[in-house]
Amino acid sequence: MVERFGIPVGDETLRQVVLAIQQGKATFIRKQSNRVTLWEVPIHDILARVAYDKNTKEIITILRPGDESQY
């Protein structure tokens, strides 16, 4: 397990975040490219912004809430 911005992140957490995005339980922020979108989703009760790759169905990275930078 690793930690990102004080949020513990492991394989199960990443699976839960992907599932939340796929089930529409995350908040869509914007499209970054044809394959990458930004979402806000709570991770262990902390709101985080994530970059999601729709082709591989994986989280690319976890960003600080409100971060608008390219992943």
Secondary structure (DSSP) of 22-42? HTT-SEEEEE-SSSEEEEEEE
Output the six-digit token pair for 45.
Answer: 């009760």
Q: What is the pTM of this model?
A: 0.85
| DSSP secondary structure code for residue 13 in this structure | H
- Interval 22-71: pLDDT, tens: 999 999 999 999 999 999 999 888 899 999 999 999 999 988 776 666 65
- The reported pLDDT for the residue numbered 49 is 93
Q: Where are the alpha helices (DSSP H) in the chain?
A: 11-22
Output the six-digit token pair for 2.
Answer: 């690793």
Residue 3, φ and ψ in degrees, nearest 5: -125, 135
